[in-house]
Amino acid sequence: MKKLVLSALAIAAISSAWAIQGTIYPKVGAPVQGDIKWKVASKEYTVAYKKGNTVVNGNFKENEVDSLEIPEPANLGKAIEMVGNKQGRQAIPLLKQIVADYKMLNWDKPAARWLVSAYLDSGDANEANKVAQSILNDNKDAAFTGEFAPAYWQVLLKLGKIPQLENCLKKAATSGDRASSAAALNMRGDIILAQGGGSNESYTKALTDGYLRVALMYGDDPCKNARREAYMKAADCFRKLNQASRANDMEAKAKQL
């Protein structure tokens, strides 16, 4: 995740007037890099940039702009890494600041997705749900497709909203998005484990109805992340079933991806 190209229509919704480093791509003429600001009253962009040794301002009406390129916020990568390392509580302040600073610049959405996971990691499913709802208010399809969906499903599972979760999984399976379908099968395994009370039967069923299906049926590249997750979760199940060699095999396959 190095940059985000935003359409002029998306940027037109900006109501704040701060400037941020980026590149503006006009429909006519060369790209201009500098401090970009959206002016609500006049519906135009201003770009402060250097021309020689002088700082000048360029003005572009909304309908004159094709797109903007905005760099990734500082600390977003660090915060995502912290969440991945089970340091969600420490990542929360960083992610909240990014969401606030980049509100209406669309980098708030990737940060909010990881903020959901950070709250879950810290044991606060209710706060995770509040953040999730802010994403779903803008895009209801995010509940069953795309990168955000699996995080939202974990929220529903933690809150015990199984019928709502099942509805999301059905939509994911029929969405035509292979990655979402694979993620839904992983979630199916998670549900089985959550409801199984730690029985051997639940570990076996989670494997056959969820994780191993992903490992065997979703070998295409868009499903790589879901497949890696399936291998790791399958390894946990095999270890609980005292099948150490199969658990090690699953972990080795996950590391190869």
Query: Mean pLDDT throughout 30-45?
Result: 82
At 44 the pLDDT is 83
**For the domain 153-257, what is the CATH code?**
1.25.40
- CATH code of the domain made up of 3-71: 2.30.30
What's this model's pTM, rounded to 2 decimal places? 0.76
Tokens of 82: 């912290």
Distance CA 74, CA 64 (A): 29
**pLDDT recorded at residue 221:** 93
Question: What's 207's DSSP letter?
Answer: I
Query: What is the domain partition of the chain in residue ranges?
Result: 3-71, 73-138, 153-257
Q: Is the pLDDT of residue 255 over 70?
A: yes
Q: How confident is the model at residue 12 (pLDDT cuts 50, 70, 90)?
A: very low
Fold: same for 3-71 and 153-257: no
Taking residues 10-23, report their average pLDDT: 54
Q: What angle do CA 190, 196, 198 make, to 5 degrees?
A: 95
- Neighbour-count burial of 221, counting CB atoms closer than 10 A to its CB (0-12 exposed, 13-18 middle, 19+ buried): exposed
Both tokens of 131, joined, read: 């953040």
What's the pLDDT tens digit per position in 48-89?
A: 888 888 888 889 888 998 887 878 888 999 999 999 899 999
Whether the predicted pLDDT of 201 surpasses 70 = yes
pLDDT given for residue 19 in this prediction: 63
Q: Report, as an integer, the average pLDDT of 102-108.
A: 68
Q: Where are the beta strands (DSSP E) in 16-102?
A: 20-26, 32-39, 44-51, 54-61, 65-71
